[in-house]
Amino acid sequence: MPLSRDVYAELEQVVGPRHISDKPWILAGVRAAQPSSPMKPPSPEAVLLPGSAAEIQQIVRICNRHGIRYIATISSLIGFAYPSGPGTIILQLKRMNQLVEVNAQDRYAVIEPGVRHGQLRTELMKHGLTYPVAAVGPGGSVLANFACSSGDNHCQHGASRTNRYLLGLEWVTPEGELVRVGSLANDAGWFCADGPGPSLRGIIKGFVGQWSGMGVVTRIAIGLDAWRGPPELPTQGRSPSYRMRLDPACHKTFVFKFPTLEQARDAMIAIGEAEIAQAVLKYFNASAALLATESANEFWELWDSGLFQRELARPLYVFLSAWTHEELEYEECVLRDIIAEFGGADVDERIQRIYSDNMDFYILVGALQRVLRLGGGWAPCKLSGDSIGHMFEVGKAIPEFITPFIEQGRILDAPDNWQIIPLEYGHSAHIELLFLYDRNQPDWGKVPMDFMRASMQADIRNGHHGTMPLRTVAASQAIGALFSNAHMWANRVKDAFDPQRVSNPF
Amino acid sequence: MEREVFTNPLRPEALRTGAALLQSFAADESGAAGRVPSQVIYPQSREDVQRIVHEAIRTATPLVPVSSGPPRFHGDTVPARGGVIVDFSRMQRVLRIDRASRSVRVEPGVTYGELIPQLRAQGLRLSLPFLPRANKSVVASRLEREPTTIPKYQYDYMDPLLTLEVVYGTGEDFRTGSACGPGTLDTLKADLVNPWGPGSIDYFRLVSAAQGTMGLVTWAVTKAEILPRLQQLWFLQASDPARLLQPIDALLRKRVLDECVVLNRAALATMLAGDGMRDYAALARALPAWTALLVVAGYERRPEERLALYAKALRDITAAQGVEPGRSVPGAPGREAEILHLLSNAWTKSADWRIRATGSSRELLFIAPMSQVPRLAATVDDVAAQRRISMQDVPCYIQPMVQGRGCHCEFVFPRLPTDSAAAMELDALHREAAAQLLRAGAFFSRPYGDWAQLVYRDYADGVAALRRLKGVFDPHGLFNPGKLCF
Amino acid sequence: MNQLADFRHTMQSCNHCGQCKWVLGPKTRGYDFAEICPIHMQFHFDAYSGQGLLHIAQELLDGELQYDPGLRDLVYSCTACGACDTNCKSIRDMEVLDTILALRAKLVEDGQGPMPQYARMAEAMARTHNIYGRPHAERAAWAGEPAGLSATTSQPAPVAYFAGCATSYQRPDIARNTVRILEAAGIAHTVLGADEHCCGGPLWRTGQIDAAARQVQENLDALQRRGVQTIVTSCAECFGTLRGFYPRVADFPFEVKHISEIVQEALDAGRLRFSKPLQTTLTWHDPCLLGRLSEPYVPWQGEIKAFGRHVPAKAWRRGQQGVYDAPRRVLGAIAGIEVVEMVRNEENALCCGGGGGVREAFPEQAQVTAAERIREATATGADTLVSSCPFCQDTFEDGLARQPGAMRYRDFTQLVVDAL
């Protein structure tokens, strides 16, 4: 439903003429198809740039009054950050970009939606603090990552998903009430997400976020960990060949290979039990090759050599990060014991050198966008979590459904391009399979859905918790009953809070 | 229309109606006003629970879940509006202990006293609350977000609770996190250790600290940890808890510590006193005002090296903070092994350490950032001083949580059940201290009894949201009505 | 020259990752000074960014977007500073800036562009060969006085100093100082004098490709007539245009050097020595066309195969080869000078705000960016902002006039001459 001029004027009254537009060229900036999809998202009716929670409340109330759908976004990196249907207005929260507070003593930071990972991470280093930084690049919104989307990150072995680090928050409900969640409820500060009583935090975000399907989160606090590096990390080189080095006396990166997935799994579990290392990964191999090269052609040269396929089919990447050299030495001894016990070996020195030369794990594995370099279709699959053991079961079953896609030439021949990242010292783990497909193929647009369907079917067949069911109505109706009827409960909660179904409904 | 009477939907032996039994649920240590329940029913399975709920829907009967044995402290199991007690004590199966995923799945009737030895046999342990009583339900403890003594194992306030199965007020069952599916538990191969979701809602949070108002949990998975091969206990002492919390903060930032708890002399003396508390007074005289119990450990790989490394880190970090740790209990040397034992096991010296002194007690507990706890604790002292009530024998323990980013503080006011005047004084102190704490910035994350009114009074926006949730999961308002804001 | 349709791969590859708007992770230094796109910083709508312009270009190509004066204004609000391009290319194989420039060229080709100010500039240039419409005869007037620049000749030589419009007409001191430096370094050189035309950069960057190409040809003829092998510039705009545009439209067998590189080489060889100390703390502003956009352009014709494979391999311009070290080393070699860095420096430098014709068409917008850059410069503690671009100088001096006492601006050549 296009916006009437009256409604536009109402909205304009809230944000001011400079911060609203329905001009087609402004809308063109937020409705392009993702490279992974043949479908253009619905064009919004207008884009608004609210400047405060109070403005958002007013906008949301106008939307409820007139039955207009809205979605709040910031960087719009992922496909879910787009309107779920036509007749939607986009609230881009970029002007709400204050780093409200860094409380070094109580280890939390309070931020608005527009604060980006690049800003916060480096600002916190000055305070000797850090947090689990998602691999979305420096322009990714911290708030969106913590409160609205997924929560996995590459250093969560020694920490956790961002879900655990989300503290007090301010939330504009789908109908426009401002609710203070957690310890903010009683003006007790930002330090706690849960309570008083049953935790409202539970409807803000689950395994993944609500993608703006449950109102708008306008301000959050996040918990912080101590940072083992210097206040400023010197950078050598120029784009794209940056090098960042942490103090080698306390930080060290290893890459090992294993004869079987079971051995890699057992080593990963043992590392967690020993409570050593900041990051442990069974990492993607094609993505690793992309990160190690500086152009698509360089990637192809490396990939065609077969080195990464041979050496990194069953790898463990381990990043030790210690406070003292003695601690590093201890951790390395334990690590070497474990690797030897489970039959691991050092990878080819050419690969090891890549990581020794650039020990900043955060940069090396955290620059998600580099993985997109090939420019064609690209999509993540699986994206689930459970024990390390179960995630390896899921991974081991990947050939069941991936092989036909490779044999038919529909995706890049990279069957081992999946990762498992443990968290909380191995208490659970996350799995993700990245598949790349060629947009020059005539049926490229069908590949992602076909692939994900095949993956889900395999999971269901095998009893694997390999994929959280998608929030879309179609997916929920098809398989929701197999997932404890989660879609039904989600819909009931949605109805209770968003009876008009205006907050980016799926 | 006359209300129909709740009729036992289970086996005959599943229902009890003895007067003494019913009366035992009508009150607890909190002094909460309640009614005598009409029946106590003992489910033994999820299907039993569903039958109970359906019968409750049919008869509009309140259901009050209880999992732990007495003494109970919070009034949360005292029926505010009568109804049926759903006593989970016969759902006491340890469904699975899984070493590889370091997790354990238990029914609500499983207690710390039962579970700890079973885990130890498999080289595992739980991150325990401080001196949990033997009959305390593990599931209830986790659901209530009770603090545990090893803050490094806690990544948020929900930790170490993982997944769970719940029966909602519609009678439908639901499994959270990676327990949700696909398929049934018989076909699902997952280890049920991913707590989040399914999808965009953290259902496990919605039943936490809910005092049974959001659903009846029929099993839960909680984390277990590797049993240390070596442990070393260290002590810090000070006249002011702030002097202990600063070095503890530094230690927790670097994850040096396993167990870590700060006790005042009354708490430590209560913990250490022998049978009948005969030596309590002597201990209380000898002990410092505040003592921090700090444990470093070595696990299965190179335990000696780890222990040495972390003990050195402990010494270095505390030295940098200007305090000196010791290896023997200040004022009670030679009791170190006993303390380690107490920290690692369920409490068995009495029904609960909190009622050890006089047979009864009132608790006052809140959470706050560690930096704020000394100031807030002093608020309680001030209120007591104004009321001329001695705090000398009031145990207080301060429990850092969530890697040290938060902290639990708990006062345990001994009460003589026979002294009604003193009890009234104590009630007044309790109320006023809670009100003052709230004003001073303490967070009653678990608002039991009267605190609910205090915390929800000025939280209209949140209360409205909570009631919407309640409407979804307990649309008939059957679960423990009269509690929290419901 | 590539047409807009040649950049389909770039348009379709954009994942909306935001890297065109934010400083790269390894170069970010905290909360402040982390944004990189001057227009996104100011207007916040995604359309005002490299990503937004790519998607606008795609919709225009696909016929999903119609021309409108508002659309034209948006396209020309971009300073074409290339920060989006360099940042994107640190992780991707995409041609963001070239797409934006091709979009402008398409607007011109379709009769929808450029902005009136640039059209007038092109008309003036056709008549007078400079961007100001000033008499061509005055172009080399800077060389006439003061006395002592007699060595400035138009005779054949292997080295030619290319002064450019802004320097010749507005900032003659820069030209004179450059010649003084060349003389002090003992470098025999020529100037093009009346044969010098505008480098064509302002036309290229506003989409007026044909007009720009005509300037190119005039200059190439003059350079060849003098037997020039190396072109020296003191103007970033000319420098970046010579390196980045000329090879797109003509054979370009010349070496192009910036005066800072000449000085550095002379210092290294002992042919030049600083004798006077200058007590100042300065910060160097990397002009876009001297820094990230100054890499020599290598024409590429080929095919983008499956999964991004470029056949034949393509020489990417990722901003690595800009002139970053030379000015810093030279200035740092002057006794008494302390060079302090802004957060956004080298390939991540923030545009002055006036580039790409923005100062002429949207002066207030340019000043918002300039104020932000001056804020960043001031935050270093420097008392002097130094650069080597008369266009940046215009923009900064406008900005500094609004902030009296904030700091002063100096051209690179002035400091060098002062220290000789």
Identify the closest residue of chain C to A17 by CA–CA distance: C43
Closest of C340, A502, A332 to residue B309, by C-alpha: A332
- Pair C159, C242 in one domain: yes
Phi, psi dihedral angles at C53 (to 5 degrees): -65, -35
Is A137–C17 a contact, with Cβ atoms under 8 angstroms apart?
yes
Among residues C267, C295, C317, the one where a domain terminates is C267
Packed helices B241-253 and B373-386: angle between N→C axes, nearest 10 degrees:
160
A116: nearest CB among C34, C64, C318: C34
C23 at A interface, C-beta within 8 A: yes
Residues from chain A that touch B447, judged by Cβ atoms under 8 A, are 195-197
- Pair C125, C89 in one domain: no
C347: nearest CB among A25, A92, A239: A239
- For residue C152, the model assigns a pLDDT of 55
Disruptive mutation site among A19, A22, A25 for chain C (greatest number of C CBs within 10 Å): A25
Sign of CA dihedral A480, A483, A489, A491: negative
Residue C402 covered by a domain = no
Instruction: Please spell the DSSP secondary structure of A435-476, one letter per residue.
Output: EEE-TTSTTGGGHHHHHHHHHHHHHHHHT----PPPSSHHHH
- Pair A401, A326 in one domain: yes
Disruptive mutation site among A107, A210, A228 for chain B (greatest number of B CBs within 10 Å): A107
- For residue B49, the model assigns a pLDDT of 98
- pLDDT, tens digit, for every residue of A119-144? 999 999 999 999 998 878 888 999 99
Residues from chain B that touch A482, judged by Cβ atoms under 8 A, are 181-183
Disruptive mutation site among A99, A238, A447 for chain C (greatest number of C CBs within 10 Å): A238
Q: What's the CATH number where A118 sits?
A: 3.30.465.10
Residues with Cβ < 8 Å from A224, sequence gap 6 or more? Answer: A107, A108, A109, A124, A129, A130, A131, A165, B405
Among residues C233, C250, C267, the one where a domain terminates is C267
- pLDDT, tens digit, for every residue of C236-258? 999 999 999 999 999 999 999 99
- For residue C149, the model assigns a pLDDT of 54
Residue C416 covered by a domain = no
- Pair A284, A417 in one domain: yes
Q: What is the domain extent for residue A415?
A: 244-462
- Pair C37, C129 in one domain: no
Is B299–A337 a contact, with Cβ atoms under 8 angstroms apart?
no
Is C25–A23 a contact, with Cβ atoms under 8 angstroms apart?
no
Residue C409 covered by a domain = no
Residue whose tokens read 């227009």: C39
- For residue A402, the model assigns a pLDDT of 97
- Pair A358, A322 in one domain: yes
Among residues A95, A125, A143, the one where a domain terminates is A95
In angstroms and rounded to an integer, the radius of gyration of the C-alpha atoms of chain B is 22
Asked if residue C226 has pLDDT above 50, the reply is yes
Residue A79 to chain C, least CA–CA distance (Å): 9
Residues from chain C that touch A441, judged by Cβ atoms under 8 A, are 306
Residues from chain C that touch A121, judged by Cβ atoms under 8 A, are 25, 28
A373: nearest CB among C74, C308, C319: C308
Task: Answer for the pair C83, A64: CB distance below 8 angstroms, yes or no.
Answer: no
- pLDDT, tens digit, for every residue of A269-291? 999 999 999 999 999 999 999 98
Residue A97 three-state SS: coil
Residue whose tokens read 């030439």: A409
A partners (3+ CB pairs within 8 A) are: B, C
C21: nearest CB among A35, A139, A232: A139
Q: How far apart are CA B454 and CA B451, in angstroms?
A: 5
Delineate the domains of chain B, giving CATH numbers in brackets: 12-89 (3.30.43.10), 92-226 (3.30.465.10), 230-343 (3.30.70.3450), 353-440 (3.30.300)
- Pair C123, C106 in one domain: no
Residues with Cβ < 8 Å from A77, sequence gap 6 or more? Answer: A136, A137, A139, A140, C15, C16, C17, C18
Residues from chain B that touch A203, judged by Cβ atoms under 8 A, are 201-202, 206, 469
Task: Answer for the pair C331, C282: CB distance below 8 angstroms, yes or no.
Answer: yes
Residues from chain C that touch A75, judged by Cβ atoms under 8 A, are 16-18
Q: Do chains C and B touch (3 or more CB pairs under 8 A)?
A: no
Task: Kindly state the helix (H) or strand (E) to which residue C15 belongs, with its residue range.
Answer: none
Disruptive mutation site among C8, C10, C11, C16 for chain A (greatest number of A CBs within 10 Å): C16
Alpha helices (H) along B18-157? 19-24, 46-59, 112-120, 138-143
Task: Answer for the pair A342, A263: CB distance below 8 angstroms, yes or no.
Answer: yes
- Pair A121, A83 in one domain: no
Is C65–A24 a contact, with Cβ atoms under 8 angstroms apart?
yes
- Pair C234, C199 in one domain: yes
- Pair A261, A363 in one domain: yes
- Pair A453, A489 in one domain: no
Identify the closest residue of chain A to B188 by CA–CA distance: A463
Residue A467 covered by a domain = no
- For residue C151, the model assigns a pLDDT of 47
Is A239–C324 a contact, with Cβ atoms under 8 angstroms apart?
no
Asked if residue A378 has pLDDT above 90, the reply is no
- For residue C147, the model assigns a pLDDT of 45
- Pair C96, C64 in one domain: yes
Q: What's the CATH number where A290 sits?
A: 3.40.462.10
- Pair A398, A384 in one domain: yes
A105 at C interface, C-beta within 8 A: no
Q: Which residues of B47-78 are buried (b: 16+ CB within 10 A; e: fewer)?
A: ebbbbbbebbbeeebbbbbbbbbbbbbbbbbb
- For residue C42, the model assigns a pLDDT of 97
- Pair A276, A325 in one domain: yes
CA C358 to chain centre: 13
Residue C318 to chain A, least CA–CA distance (Å): 7
What are the beta bridge partners of residue A71? A90
Size of interface A-C (CB pairs under 8 A): 210
Residue A196 DSSP label: S
Residue A72 CA: distances (Å) to CA of A148, A151, A217, B222, C94: 10, 18, 9, 35, 28
Is A482–B183 a contact, with Cβ atoms under 8 angstroms apart?
yes
| Structure confidence at residue A359 as a pLDDT band (50, 70, 90) | low
Among residues C232, C267, C302, the one where a domain terminates is C267
How many CA atoms are closer than 13 Å to the CA of A142, on its beta-carbon side?
33
Residue A234 to chain C, least CA–CA distance (Å): 8
A375: nearest CB among C13, C46, C51: C13
- Pair A342, A392 in one domain: yes
Is B181–A482 a contact, with Cβ atoms under 8 angstroms apart?
yes
Residue whose tokens read 């939307």: A63
CA A10 to chain centre: 35
- Pair C126, C189 in one domain: yes
Residue whose tokens read 């395999």: A458
Strands B94-98 and B103-106, sheet pairing: antiparallel
| Structure confidence at residue C109 as a pLDDT band (50, 70, 90) | very high
Residue A343 to chain B, least CA–CA distance (Å): 17
| Structure confidence at residue A364 as a pLDDT band (50, 70, 90) | very low
Instruction: Please spell the DSSP secondary structure of C286-337, one letter per residue.
Output: --TTTTTT-SPP-----EE-GGG-EES------STTSS-HHHHHHHHTSTTE
Residues from chain B that touch A198, judged by Cβ atoms under 8 A, are 205-210, 213-214, 466, 469, 484
Is A334–B199 a contact, with Cβ atoms under 8 angstroms apart?
no
- Pair C6, C29 in one domain: yes
Residue C89 covered by a domain = yes
Residue A183 covered by a domain = yes
Asked if residue A22 has pLDDT above 50, the reply is yes
A463: nearest CB among B157, B182, B371: B182
How crowded is residue C326: how many other Cβ atoms within 10 Å of its Cβ?
Answer: 21
On average, the pLDDT of chain C sits at 95
Tokens of C320: 């690595």
- Pair A506, A403 in one domain: no
Is A159–B155 a contact, with Cβ atoms under 8 angstroms apart?
yes
Q: How far apart are CA A256 and CA B98, in angstroms?
A: 27
pTM (2 d.p.): 0.97
Tokens of C362: 């949207």
Task: Answer for the pair C21, C35: CB distance below 8 angstroms, yes or no.
Answer: yes
Asked if residue A376 has pLDDT above 80, the reply is no
Q: How far apart are CA C285 and CA A286, in angstroms?
A: 39
Residue C248 covered by a domain = yes
- For residue B249, the model assigns a pLDDT of 98
Is B209–A199 a contact, with Cβ atoms under 8 angstroms apart?
yes
Q: How far apart are CA A203 and CA A210, in angstroms?
A: 8
Asked if residue C150 has pLDDT above 60, the reply is no
Residue B233 CA: distances (Å) to CA of B7, B82, B305: 54, 47, 16
Is A465–B102 a contact, with Cβ atoms under 8 angstroms apart?
no
How much is the average pLDDT of B266-280?
95
| Structure confidence at residue A365 as a pLDDT band (50, 70, 90) | very low
Task: Answer for the pair C413, C177: CB distance below 8 angstroms, yes or no.
Answer: yes
Task: Answer for the pair A283, A229: CB distance below 8 angstroms, yes or no.
Answer: no
Asked if residue B16 has pLDDT above 50, the reply is yes
Is C90–A118 a contact, with Cβ atoms under 8 angstroms apart?
no
- Pair C241, C135 in one domain: yes
Closest of A415, A411, A419, A464 to residue A438, by C-alpha: A411
C partners (3+ CB pairs within 8 A) are: A
- Pair C31, C131 in one domain: no
- Pair A134, A212 in one domain: yes
Identify the closest residue of chain A to C315 by CA–CA distance: A295
For the purposes of burial, counting CB atoms within 10 Å of the CB of B93, is it exposed (0-12), middle (13-18) or buried (19 or more)? middle
Identify the closest residue of chain A to C50 by CA–CA distance: A29
Is B466–A484 a contact, with Cβ atoms under 8 angstroms apart?
no
Identify the closest residue of chain A to B191 by CA–CA distance: A387
Residue A251 covered by a domain = yes
- Pair C100, C169 in one domain: no
- For residue B151, the model assigns a pLDDT of 98
- Pair A128, A148 in one domain: yes
Residue C406 covered by a domain = no
A235: nearest CB among C27, C56, C92: C27
- pLDDT, tens digit, for every residue of A242-262? 888 889 999 999 999 999 999
Q: How far apart are CA C93 and CA C103, in angstroms?
A: 19
Task: Answer for the pair C65, C335: CB distance below 8 angstroms, yes or no.
Answer: no
Asked if residue A379 has pLDDT above 90, the reply is no
Is A137–C19 a contact, with Cβ atoms under 8 angstroms apart?
yes
- Pair C254, C125 in one domain: yes
Query: Which residue pairs, CB below 8 angstroms and at least 24 apart, start in C120-123?
Result: C121/C202, C121/C203, C121/C206, C121/C357, C121/C360, C122/C203, C122/C208, C122/C211
Residue C69 to chain A, least CA–CA distance (Å): 11
Q: What's the CATH number where C92 sits?
A: 1.10.1060
Q: How far apart are CA A349 and CA A346, in angstroms?
A: 8
Q: What's the CATH number where A14 sits?
A: 3.30.43.10
Amino acid at C5: A
Task: Answer for the pair C67, C110: CB distance below 8 angstroms, yes or no.
Answer: yes
CA-CA-CA-CA dihedral for B312, B314, B319, B324, to nearest 10: -110
- pLDDT, tens digit, for every residue of B383-432? 999 999 999 999 999 999 999 999 999 999 999 878 889 889 999 999 99
- For residue A367, the model assigns a pLDDT of 62
A297: nearest CB among C44, C52, C310: C310
Residue C229 covered by a domain = yes
- pLDDT, tens digit, for every residue of B307-336? 999 999 999 999 999 999 999 998 999 999
Is B301–A188 a contact, with Cβ atoms under 8 angstroms apart?
no
Phi, psi dihedral angles at A195 (to 5 degrees): 105, 180
Task: Please give the tally of structural domains in chain C.
Answer: 2
Query: Is the ipTM beyond the 0.95 threshold?
Result: yes
Residue C89 CA: distances (Å) to CA of B58, C96, C248: 66, 8, 20
Residue B283 to chain A, least CA–CA distance (Å): 34
Residue C41 covered by a domain = yes
Residue C241 three-state SS: helix
Tokens of A233: 């990390």
Disruptive mutation site among C10, C11, C15 for chain A (greatest number of A CBs within 10 Å): C15
Task: Please give the tally of structural domains in chain A.
Answer: 4
C9: nearest CB among A99, A123, A375: A375
Q: What is the domain extent for residue C7?
A: 1-113
Amino acid at A104: A
Closest of B235, A31, B2, B449 to residue C65, by C-alpha: A31
